[in-house]
Amino acid sequence: MSTFTASGAKNPKKQEYFERLRNLIGSHSQIMIVEADNVGSKQMADVRFALRDRATILMGKNTMIKTCLRAMVEERPELESLIELVKDNIGMVFCNEEPAAIRKTILEFRVPAPAKQGSLAPCDVYIPPGPTGMDPGQTSFFQQLGIPTKIVKGQIEIQNEVHIVSVGERVSASQAVLLSKLSINPFSYGLKTVSVWDNGSSYPASVLDISQEDVETALKTAINLVAQTSLGALYPTKCSAPHSILNAFRQCAGVGIATDFIFPQIEALKKALDNPDAFAPTAAVAAPAAAAPAATAAAESEAESEDDDMGFGLFD
């Protein structure tokens, strides 16, 4: 506690921030590291309100966050891995709930945004084919970008879909102006989860995209591969044991059927093979029972047909 007091003795707000960060780390088992580039205050307020009673968002300068964490490393060494995640324009989302559910709520508040000159494209941008609503005098924008067009009914029309901006590239002035004239807002901004810290271990946010079904499918595939390898190598394992036992039973059953060696598990099968007629009455009774409704329906149909042909025509 004295470390925090010394660090922020001349700044009560900094001391308050340190205490809050310390309490949040102590009361939450998981921390989501989120990027906050191009996120407005209104957007941030909406996210905070949506996560009320579920998670707490804490923003701040990286130097302040690192100072607080380093002061806590002595009593909690696992925080050393959290310090490494504090870089760029980030914030922390403290939660005890599943991070995937929290991230889903955060993603609901992404807002569309125009492509500004000089900004890095977070995704590929395409312009769809068709009329643009622009007059022929503005073809220079398309010519500078090498976009093939034609004039149809007094307006410029794009002939084919055009890949105008690639992910990671900076948007040029011509690209920004053209997208603006076409009323295309290709980007969206919001809090972006980059990693998750969980009780001393960290993993990238892409892990949150893995569902329970994906884990089960991967596990079943791995078990099948181990079983196949074990059977092929004649090396018994827990995965191959059920298959080995089943194969052994089949071989024993084959020996029992071919000889007079009988054991309880194949008694019913042996009796059926030795005396198939004993099981025939059951099938014979079932067949007439199933055929009876069909025969009755056929008789009724035949009777109706005879009634219709008794010589009393409609126009007699």
- Residue 309: pLDDT band (50, 70, 90) is very low
Query: Strand, helix or coil at 169?
Result: coil
What kind of architecture, by CATH, is found in domain 12-110+190-209?
A: 2-Layer Sandwich (3.30)
Mean pLDDT, rounded, of the chain? 82
Q: Which two tokens stand for residue 83?
A: 């310090």
Beta strands in 84-198 (DSSP E): 90-95, 111-113, 125-127, 130-131, 149-152, 155-158, 162-165, 187-189, 192-198
Is the separation of the CB atoms in 22 and 73 below 8 Å? no
The mean pLDDT value for 300-314 works out to: 45
pLDDT digits (tens, 9 = 90+) for 58-90: 998 999 999 999 989 888 888 899 999 998 889
Percent of the chain with pLDDT over 90: 20
**For 123-147, what is each residue's pLDDT tens digit?**
899 989 888 888 888 888 788 878 8
CA distances from 315 to 2, 190, 306 (A): 114, 83, 18
Determine contact, residues 170/10, Cβ cutoff 8 Å.
no
Supply the pTM of this predicted model.
0.61
Residue 306 clears pLDDT 50, i.e. is over it: no
Domain with CATH 3.90.105.20 in the chain: 119-187
* Residue 70: φ, ψ to 5°: -65, -35
Given CA atoms 240, 242, 247, 251 in this order, what sign does their dihedral have? Answer: positive
Bridge partners (DSSP) listed for residue 165? 125
**Residues near 237 by Cβ (< 8 Å), separated by ≥ 6?**
226, 227, 230
For the ranges 5-9, 117-121, 124-128, 255-259, the lowest mean pLDDT is seen at: 5-9
CA dist., res. 274 & res. 150, Å (int)? 85
CATH topology (fold) of 119-187: Molybdopterin biosynthesis moea protein, domain 2 (3.90.105)
**C-alpha span between 144 and 248 (Å, rounded):** 75
For the cut 50, the answer to whether the pLDDT of residue 2 exceeds it is no
Domain with CATH 3.30.70.1730 in the chain: 12-110+190-209
